[in-house]
Homo-oligomer: A and B are copies of this chain.
Amino acid sequence: MSGKPIGVFDSGIGGLTVAKEIMELLPGESIVYLGDTARVPYGSKSPETITRYAFEGLNFLLSKDVKLVVIACNTVSATCLKELQENSNVPVIGVIDPGAKAAVRATREKKVGVIGTERTVKSGAYESAIKNMDGNIKILSKACPLFVPLVEEGWLDREATYLTIAEYLMPLKREGIDTLVLGCTHYPLLKPAISRVLGEGIKLVDCAKETAVVVKNTLEDSGLISRRIPAEGIIHKYYVTDNTEKFREIGEMFLKRKIEHIEKVRL
């Protein structure tokens, strides 16, 4: 059982930031990644459509005999995590709770900003999670739908990017937040740009890193952690619903390593 892979589901390519953190924290684990690139992005779609797509993704990963599933997509985690958990025979971990916990630990002024896709922000999932841990924290949310296309265009260090960041985030800074949750898997790539605009005083919470820690703890607690690296080495597999070339190209920028085993599938 402990030799089985970890499944990671995302609407597209962004979940690779989560996969990367898991690979670094748990070098003995192999990953089966599924990116629904034919239907990406999910962030502006309705809860019903997102839920239908998410179940197709979960079932695909379960068919690959994974020991645990990570819902790397904030939008899916915010929309239907509980339903996915209730319909899975292996643990299902989302990215909201780990990010919320880190924010609660980080804030001193008890003023936290949360940014994400339209759907993630509308769901109020981070707010509920944070409020459940500390009812005194004030939360300011903002949907930033232009950040994902900016990252995918590779505009990580351009004037237009800095202006867009300022337009979205300066109002939150003026309100006095001291912590900002990057509630979308693409956003860690904008960390340097966001830091430059907001200055050093605001702590950025990267949900990918926090989620990897929860994955490690869950595997250890349930005795599912891999104790030895197989003789043939660790093999990560990537499945996508649209063509593999573009995923490979942008994906290697996210992952900072080669993507070797990749296959196009239909959900």
Residues of A that sit less than 8 Å from B by CB: 37-39, 44-46, 48-49, 145-146, 148-150, 152-153, 155, 158-160, 163-164, 167, 241-243, 246
Contact = CB atoms under 8 A, between A and B. Distances in A.
A152 B43 CA distance: 13
Given A48-B243, A145-B152, A167 B158 contact: yes
Contacts of A160: 146, 160, 163-164, 167
Contacts of A149: 145-146, 148-149
A241 B241 CA distance: 19
Contact of A242 (B46, B152, B153, B159): B46
A160 B163 CA distance: 6
Copies of this polypeptide in the complex: 2
A266 B164 CA distance: 35
Given A48-B243, A146-B160, 15 more contacts: A38-B49, A39-B39, A45-B242, A45-B243, A46-B242, A49-B242, A145-B149, A146-B146, A146-B149, A146-B155, A148-B149, A159-B163, A160-B160, A160-B164, A163-B163
Contacts of A158: 167
17 contacts: A38-B39, A38-B49, A39-B39, A45-B243, A46-B246, A48-B243, A49-B241, A49-B242, A145-B153, A146-B149, A146-B153, A146-B160, A148-B149, A158-B167, A160-B160, A160-B163, A163-B163
Contacts of A242: 45-46, 49
A145 B164 CA distance: 15
Nearest to A244: B46
A159 B146 CA distance: 14
A46 to B, nearest CB: 4
A155 B152 CA distance: 19
A46 B159 CA distance: 30
Contacts of A243: 45-46, 48-49
A89 B97 CA distance: 54
A155 B38 CA distance: 26
Nearest to A245: B46
A264 to B, nearest CB: 9
A243 B45 CA distance: 8
Contacts of A153: 145-146
A11 B48 CA distance: 19
A198 B162 CA distance: 22
